[in-house]
Amino acid sequence: MFGARRYLPSMPSLLALEAVDRLGSASAAAHELALTQGAISRQLQVLEAQMGVALLAREGGKLALTAAGRDYVRAVRSALQNLASASMTLRANPLGGSLNLAILPAFGMHWLAPRLADFTANHPEVTLNLSTRLRPFDMAAEGIDAAIHYGRTDWAGAQHLPLLDEMLIAVAAPRLVSKPLGRADDILSYPLLQIESRLGDWGRWLAHFGTAPQRPPAMLFDQFSTMTMAALHGLGIALLPTFLIERELAEGRLIPAFGHAIPALGKYFLVWPKDAPDRAPLTSFRAWIETQI
């Protein structure tokens, strides 16, 4: 339950305060809210009496919020926006519920997105909301029901459903490497491209093919999509997940620079909070995505 109910103001009072702050006068607020100026003033007086704090002051014949009022109205505006968003979601899907899913951009674009039409066709009662996150975060604090995670089963406080083993292959544009190199360490004669969150990948790749482990210098990227484009334009040899570049390999726009694909250190998982109560939208999504593995 919320805190003491006496601290919960009425909606008309909060709307009046927010409108006065945004519009700068009681008359403008009255016009927007289809009330009289006197009604706006009464709502503000009721709010100040309930809070026991002066929220507004007269400055040069105009209403202005006090310092306390400005702090308060920021929280009020955020709460009103959240309430409006929740109401819009309810109206959009009155029979089901929403699922807020955080995705990794490359995985979301190349693996998940092509499959989502099947989920929405089979579960029209679920409104799916997608947002991008590159690193683990607090799902409860950010209102996220589940997330796509790359790595190990190490997301604290989360349950993990394995989705995909990742395989890495060294590739380049034919303009840079016209045919596969003779030895693994020949790549060191070329510019290399690398994801900044996986600085050890080239060293592990070299070790896999019998070359002394090392961490060669490389141009850094924060996302696979931009690194793939750099490889396509001949900027260097890239170590990329095979599922991201199936089309580029099939069309010959990227070719293997040396060797076969090797297992990456991490896998892709669907994760969700351990202690959160089961909600029908998440249950439906988990059951569906297991059929896609």
**What's the CATH architecture for 97-162+268-292?**
3-Layer(aba) Sandwich (3.40)
pLDDT value of position 277: 85
Cα 110-99-281 angle, rounded to 5 deg:
110
The answer to whether domain 5-92 has CATH 1.10.10.10 is yes
Tell me the C-alpha distance between 269 and 163, whole Å: 5
pLDDT tens for each residue of 107-116: 999 999 999 9
pLDDT value of position 1: 45
pTM above 0.85, yes or no: no
User: Phi, psi (5° rounding) for residue 20?
Assistant: -65, -40
Tell me the C-alpha distance between 159 and 147, whole Å: 11
- DSSP letter at 251 equals T
The answer to whether domain 165-263 has CATH 3.40.190.10 is yes
Tokens found for residue 292: 């896609």
Count other Cβ atoms within 10 Å, centred on residue 29: 26
Packing angle between helix 280-292 and helix 113-122, nearest 10 degrees? 130
pLDDT value of position 203: 95
Tell me the C-alpha distance between 160 and 153, whole Å: 6
Tell me the C-alpha distance between 150 and 243, whole Å: 14
Q: Is 6 exposed, middle or buried (0-12, 13-18, 19+ CB in 10 A)?
A: exposed
Residue 27, CB half-sphere, CA atoms under 13 Å: how many?
2
pLDDT tens for each residue of 5-38: 667 888 999 999 999 889 888 889 899 999 999 9
Tell me the C-alpha distance between 40 and 20, whole Å: 9
Asked whether the predicted pLDDT for residue 65 surpasses 60, the reply is yes
Q: Buried b / exposed e across 221-239, counting CB within 10 Å, b at 16+?
A: bebbeebbebbbeebbbbb
Q: Answer for the pair 56, 49: CB distance below 8 angstroms, yes or no.
A: no
pLDDT value of position 81: 85
Residues in the chain, how many?
A: 293
Tokens found for residue 92: 């959009």
Count other Cβ atoms within 10 Å, centred on residue 146: 25
pLDDT value of position 85: 73
pLDDT value of position 136: 87
pLDDT tens for each residue of 110-160: 999 999 999 999 999 899 999 999 888 899 888 899 999 999 999 999 999
pLDDT tens for each residue of 188-225: 999 999 999 899 999 999 999 999 878 999 999 999 99
pLDDT value of position 228: 97
Q: How confident is the model at residue 57 (pLDDT cuts 50, 70, 90)?
A: confident
Tell me the C-alpha distance between 170 and 174, whole Å: 13
pLDDT value of position 24: 85
Token pair 């482990």: residue: 213
pLDDT tens for each residue of 161-187: 999 999 999 999 999 999 999 999 999
Is the fold of 5-92 the same as that of 97-162+268-292?
no
Backbone CA torsion sign across 108, 114, 119, 121: positive
Domain ranges of the chain: 5-92, 97-162+268-292, 165-263
